[in-house]
Amino acid sequence: MMNAEKYRRTLVGEVELIHKLLRDADEEAAGRESSCSGWSVLDVGRHVEVTPRTVAGHLIAHLQGEPLPQNEPLASTAGRQEVLDSLDDGSRRLNEALGRLGDEALDGELPGPVGPMPGRAVLDLALTELTLHRCDIALGLGVPADIDPTTAVAVIDVIQAWLLLIAPASPTPKGPLCYLLSDGSHEWSFRFEGTHWTADACKEDRRAVIAHGTPGRLALALAGRLPIEQAVDESSNPVALSKLKTYLPGP
C-alpha cells in the first residue's frame, strides 16, 4: 500500500514518462496508431494531458477549502508542443499538490471525477489513467511498456472493479465459473454466479481457472492491451482463460 510520498513520486513519474516518450518521438512516430483503438500516439497525449492538471487543481482547491476549478482539455487538433507544454505544467502542479498531501488524507475523502471519493481510490484512478495511456503511447512507438509491481497491483484493483461494474449481459459462461489470477503475492477473482459477476473468492467446489503471471503483464492484459495468454506464465485451463476478455471486455 502506497503512502502519500510514494503516490507523489509515482504519479509525477508517469507524467514525466509520457512527456519523454512524446518529446523523443518524431512526427512520423507521433502519428502511429497506439494500442488505444482508433487513436494515434499523439491523440493519446492530447487525451491524457488534462489528467495531471485536473487532479492537481482539485487537490489544491480541496486543501484550501475552495470550489473545484474547471480544467479544459486541449483541442483535439493541438500540436505536440502544446501537449508537451501542458504535461510540463501538469507535472509541476501535480508535484506541488501531492507534496502538500499527508498520509492522513489518503484515509479520508478527496475530490474524484464524479464527486468525493476515498482518497486512495482517487489517486489510484488517476494512476490507472496515466499508466495505461503511457503504455498505449509506448506500445504505439514500439518500446517496452513496463509497469512496476506496486503500481500494477493498484491498476489491477481499479480494472477489476471496473470490469465487474460494466460486465455485459452477453456472452457469459455456461454455468458458474471463476477466474483466479495471481502474481504470487496477490490474488484477483472474477467469479460468475450464473447470472452476474463478483469479486468473491473462488471456491473449491466451483469450476476455477487459475493463472499466474507478473502484475505488470496481468494489468496490461486485463486492460485489453495484451492478449491474456501472453500475460501468464502458467494456467490451469488455457482455452478457458482465453475467453476471459470476451466475457469482460474493456476498459
Calpha distance 113→134 (Å, rounded) = 20
Task: Give the Cα-Cα-Cα angle 19, 224, 242 (nearest 5 degrees).
Answer: 150
The answer to whether 4-145 and 154-247 have equal CATH topology is no
Here the cell at position 31 is: 502519428
- How do the domains of the chain map onto residue ranges? 4-145, 154-247
Q: What count of residues does the chain have?
A: 251
Q: Give the chain's radius of gyration (CA, Å).
A: 19
CATH of 4-145, one of 3.30.365.10, 3.40.50.1220, 2.60.120.10, 1.20.120.450: 1.20.120.450
Please give the pLDDT value at position 250: 80
Mean pLDDT by 10 residues, the chain (251 residues): 95 98 96 93 97 97 94 93 97 97 95 94 97 97 96 97 93 93 96 92 82 97 94 95 93 77
User: CB-based contacts of 176: which residues, under 8 Å, 6+ apart?
Assistant: 191, 192, 193, 194, 206, 207
The pTM is what? 0.94
CATH number of the domain located at residue range(s) 154-247 in this protein: 3.30.1050.10
